[in-house]
Amino acid sequence: MRRLIVYIVVALILLPLAFLAAVYGGLFGALPSQEELANIRQQQASLVYSTDARLIGKFFAQNRTNIAFEDFPEVLVQALVATEDARFFEHEGVDVRATLRVLFKSVLLGDKSAGGGSTLSQQLAKNLYGRKSYGRLSMPVAKIREIIIARRLEEVYSKEALLELYLNTVPFGEDVYGVEAAAMRFFGQGASKLNVVQAATLVGLLKANTAYNPRLYPEKALDRRNVVLRQMEKAGYLTAEARMKASEQPIGLSYTHPETDGPAAYFLVLVKQEANRLLDSINAATGSDWQLERDGLRIRTSLHAGLQQAALVAQKKHLQRMQELLNQQYRSGASARNLHKYAVQELKRAGVTGDQKAPRTIFTWEGVKSPEITALDSAKHSLQLLHAGMLALDPRTGAIRLWSGGIDFRTQPFDQVLARRQLASTFKPILFAAALENGFEPCHWLSNNAADLKSYEDWKPANYDGQSGGEYSFAAVLRKSLNLPSVQLYQQLGYGALNQVWKSFGFARDLPDGPAVALGAGEGSVYELAQFYAALANGGQKITPYTIESIESAQGEELYRHRGHMGERVLSLQTTDYLNAMLQQVVDSGTAASLRGKFGIRQALAGKTGSSQDYADAWFAGYSPALVLVSRVGAAKPTIHFNSGAYGTGSALALPLFGHTMAVVQANSSMRSQFFAPFANSYALPLCKDYREPTLVDEFLDIFKPKPGRKTEKAAEKEQKKAERKEKRKNLFKKLFGE
């Protein structure tokens, strides 16, 4: 019996030692060596900055940004140590007193409030290497591994370095790792600026990331924060008076989620694509392995955060009002019946049936909501939404300064800047550019009478005001956005010459052949149209829009810098000077005159409004030699639109986005000097009357005048053949001599 007891005692001693030896020897997985611990390289989020040095987004597998110990505020370190490991500066990785306390209270007495007993070093080991499942042995294995790794960490790093590692790796929930990312998420600022209340809130989160999330559970987060403050008082970091004062303050949450709710969510999609393409090229050329979501790169973009913010404020201010007007239109009468019909069709197309209510996520200008509504009501709400796309470019370089792809990235991710719609009257300057390039003069007279269009299903275009008669000069046609003279110009010019200019700007969709194209029946995107107007602004050269100015490593090594250059000349300087002068008249006294009156913009500007058929889409393109800004507004389906030109035209629906934005720019001296510049025309616009009533003599003499369109049609074909021969010769030289 005595021998049995001895065996049992020996077994009770040897078995734990054997178990400890098994863990130490790597039976449950290899333990990191001191050398490996000294070379810890954790993933970091790559940071994306605007050209005016504001953080606008991150790319990450783990949302983490490393900062140095010197950047941690003292109150943060104090809150962490007081709450998580009061004897951190005394032990060497394992707090024996805390471990014995947990062993006695938790294991023997079953007191779950005794805590985990893990030191910050042990928690760091857990954060770095995680825990694996070994069945019932999982917890003992994990604890022993963490004790061993913690001791090794203490041998390799100083206490300050351990705190730096810990605060850069600890999870705060919502896929946020490290205190820098957490401070940005919950308080909209870097960790170095945290005050004692904010620091205590974040440290409180560590106990349970979800339960004490200040966005989800503000009351629980407040209680937990006050526990941390009491721990700081207990440790001697706060006086009783300072603790009480801090406890009375609200959390002061300033929640930001730039990846989905930030000011440039649509733009970041393009930046990510471009950054990955550039890194692939860099890696291939240098044999390196830079990864966007791992290596903590610093990406400086072309976007101007101040201009972007001004545009977003303008978008909300204007569209919120216009949305309510459109909603009123569709609440009753024929509009309501049509909306119901279209919604039923959409549900049928999607295979959705039933009218049961359920929580459904919808966008409103008061915020994203989840009311209990039917699928039919949800479809109606979605169909009525007004969408908007806005893009601003520097026409001298192609730098994208503003990109707003929609009203809400989370619920409406489709990018409206890239959506293709009928260009309406914003196309007319393309038509007039083609005419000027092919021998027409600015004082060429265009008839304001209906053309003979019997061969086009007897189509009968009309001017917006329904008036006709007389003849107008080029400038007057553009200023008044007249349709009948534009159709006459198309008939005189011919499709070939117009299509050549269209193709030179790289529009993806083919240009329709027929007189309706003169009124903007061709389809293009905000992105494509902005490149045409950029060529007008810069004197006729094609630009390539870009998003990234530079990429640097986390250590400051420059990996890439944009080296811009102007593209090929696509329009003559004379043509662009003439059109710039004409389109300035559109702003000064034409369809965009509200920019001067209502919005008070005094700077030199040119522009063009556009309203597609039945007001399905409203457009405005405005520019100076320093900035081109194009906006488009419309519902997702062309069947949903304003019934009145008072609300649905380009000047009423799209132009105000430009007006509100540029009014802010004008009021800011820094942005004003950057985004406004005078037009320096080398070719003055010839003086001619806007309108004339043709006499019999004029009509007789017109018979003998050469028709520019007929000559230019052949000239266009000749130029096309010449270009094809040139391209063939270029390809031959490439084959013979390479690039």
Q: Which tens digits make up the pLDDT trace of 660-682?
A: 999 999 999 999 999 999 999 89
Mean pLDDT, rounded, for 311-336: 97
Residue 574 is part of a domain; what is its CATH number?
A: 3.40.710.10
Least confident of 98-102, 291-295, 517-521, 688-692: 98-102
Measured over the CA atoms of residue 631, residue 632, residue 633 and residue 636, the dihedral's sign is negative
Cα–Cα distances (Å) from 235 to 83, 86, 87, 511, in that order, read 9, 7, 10, 75
Residue 96 neighbours by CB distance under 10 Å: 10
Residue 143 is part of a domain; what is its CATH number?
A: 1.10.3810.10
pLDDT band at 8 (very low <50, low <70, confident <90, very high): low
Write out the residue range of the structural domain in which residue 504 sits. Answer: 386-549+569-660+668-704
Token match 């913010």: residue?
309
Tell me the per-residue pLDDT of 593-615, one tens digit each, with 9 for 90 and over.
999 999 999 999 999 999 999 99
Given its phi and psi angles, is residue 231 left (phi above 0), alpha (psi -120 to 50 degrees) or beta?
alpha
Instruction: Return d(Cα 580, Cα 577) in angstroms, integer.
Output: 5
Query: What is the pLDDT, as a whole number, of residue 101?
Result: 62
Query: What is the pLDDT, as a whole number, of residue 514?
Result: 92
Instruction: Return d(Cα 717, Cα 497) in angstroms, integer.
Output: 8
Q: Contact 612/424 with Cβ under 8 angstroms?
A: yes
Query: What is the pLDDT, as a whole number, of residue 594?
Result: 97
Query: What is the pLDDT, as a whole number, of residue 733?
Result: 38
The mean pLDDT value of the chain amounts to: 86
pLDDT for 483 beyond 80: yes
pLDDT for 1 beyond 70: no
Query: What is the pLDDT, as a whole number, of residue 566?
Result: 76
> What are 265's two structure tokens?
């969510």
pLDDT band at 713 (very low <50, low <70, confident <90, very high): very low
Query: What is the pLDDT, as a whole number, of residue 258?
Result: 60
Strands 523-525 and 420-422: antiparallel
* Greater pLDDT, 87 or 505: 505
pLDDT for 491 beyond 90: yes
Mean pLDDT, rounded, for 720-737: 47
Instruction: Return d(Cα 393, Cα 410) in angstroms, integer.
Output: 25
pLDDT for 342 beyond 60: yes
Q: For residue 367, with 0-12 CB atoms within 10 Å meaning exposed, 13-18 middle and 19 or more buried, which class applies?
A: exposed
> What are 473's two structure tokens?
């000069």
Query: What is the pLDDT, as a whole number, of residue 109?
Result: 46
Mean pLDDT, rounded, for 298-327: 97
Q: Identify the domain boundary among 192, 219, 247.
A: 247
pLDDT band at 12 (very low <50, low <70, confident <90, very high): low
Least confident of 303-312, 627-636, 682-691: 682-691
Provide the domain count of the chain.
2
301 in any annotated domain: no
321 in any annotated domain: no
Instruction: Return d(Cα 646, Cα 611) in angstroms, integer.
Output: 12
Residue 485 neighbours by CB distance under 10 Å: 27
Query: What is the pLDDT, as a whole number, of residue 698?
Result: 56
300 in any annotated domain: no
Cα–Cα distances (Å) from 352 to 249, 376, 441, 569, 635, in that order, read 50, 9, 58, 52, 22
70 phi and psi angles, rounded to 5 deg? -65, -20
Instruction: Return d(Cα 262, Cα 409) in angstroms, integer.
Output: 9
Instruction: Return d(Cα 469, Cα 693) in angstroms, integer.
Output: 8
Measured over the CA atoms of residue 76, residue 79, residue 84 and residue 89, the dihedral's sign is positive
Cα–Cα distances (Å) from 13 to 6, 8, 145, 148, in that order, read 11, 9, 20, 20
Tell me the per-residue pLDDT of 135-178, one tens digit each, with 9 for 90 and over.
766 667 677 777 887 788 887 888 898 888 889 888 898 888 89
pLDDT for 709 beyond 90: no
pLDDT for 83 beyond 80: yes
pTM for the model stands at: 0.77
276 in any annotated domain: no
3-state secondary structure of 552: strand
With a pLDDT cut of 70, the percent of the chain lying above it is 84
> What are 424's two structure tokens?
């309406």
Tell me the per-residue pLDDT of 41-70, one tens digit each, with 9 for 90 and over.
677 889 999 999 999 998 887 677 888 899
21 in any annotated domain: no
pLDDT for 710 beyond 50: no
pLDDT band at 576 (very low <50, low <70, confident <90, very high): very high
230 in any annotated domain: yes
Given its phi and psi angles, is residue 72 left (phi above 0), alpha (psi -120 to 50 degrees) or beta?
beta
Q: What angle do CA 453, 458, 459 make, to 5 degrees?
A: 80
Cα–Cα distances (Å) from 443 to 397, 440, 446, 576, 681, in that order, read 33, 8, 9, 15, 18
Token match 């995680």: residue?
130
Tell me the per-residue pLDDT of 579-593, one tens digit each, with 9 for 90 and over.
999 999 999 999 999
Measured over the CA atoms of residue 134, residue 139, residue 144 and residue 145, the dihedral's sign is positive
159 in any annotated domain: yes
275 in any annotated domain: no
Query: What is the pLDDT, as a whole number, of residue 3?
Result: 67
Query: What is the pLDDT, as a whole number, of residue 121?
Result: 81
Query: What is the pLDDT, as a whole number, of residue 213?
Result: 92
Token match 């606008």: residue?
56
Query: What is the pLDDT, as a whole number, of residue 387?
Result: 98
Tell me the per-residue pLDDT of 219-257, one tens digit each, with 9 for 90 and over.
899 999 999 999 999 999 999 999 999 999 999 888 877
Q: Which residues pair with 58 in a beta bridge?
A: 47
pLDDT band at 736 (very low <50, low <70, confident <90, very high): very low
Instruction: Return d(Cα 631, Cα 530) in angstroms, integer.
Output: 9
